[in-house]
């Protein structure tokens, strides 16, 4: 019975991670669509420097969140592999 309870807890944890994964990618997709729309609306004028700076800042933010995500996943995978080995 204890193993069944542990399996249920493990499955609940997996479901939570999958939900977080899907939410993160949905947020990234929304940001990328917004950036894409912004880039397509740019015209070759002097006043676009401010918009272009904003677009670059958003790309840097996306890069940062992606790198943080990859780091978190790598740590999680490493931890789970260590748990399997022990």
Exposure string of 45-75, with b = 16+ CB inside 10 Å and e = fewer, is eeeeeeeeeebeeeeeeeeeeeeeeeeeeee
Return all residues near 31 (Cβ < 8 A) that are at least 6 apart: 58, 61, 62
Residue 86 banded pLDDT, cuts 50, 70, 90:
very low
Q: What is the pLDDT of residue 83?
A: 60
d(CA 5, CA 11): 10
The total of structural domains in the chain comes to 1
15-60: pLDDT as tens digits: 888 888 888 888 888 888 887 777 766 666 666 777 777 878 888 8
- pTM (2 d.p.): 0.48
Beta strands in 1-86, from DSSP E residues, in sequence order: none
d(CA 76, CA 45): 47
């Amino acid at each position: 019975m204890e193993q069944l309870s542990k399996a249920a807890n493990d499955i609940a944890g997996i479901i939570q991670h999958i939900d977080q994964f899907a939410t993160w990618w949905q947020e990234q997709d929304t940001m990328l669509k917004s950036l894409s729309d912004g880039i397509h609306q740019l015209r070759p004028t002097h006043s676009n420097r401010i918009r272009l700076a904003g677009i670059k800042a958003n790309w840097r933010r996306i890069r940062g969140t992606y790198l943080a995500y990859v780091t978190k996943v790598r740590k999680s995978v490493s931890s789970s592999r260590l748990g399997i080995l022990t």
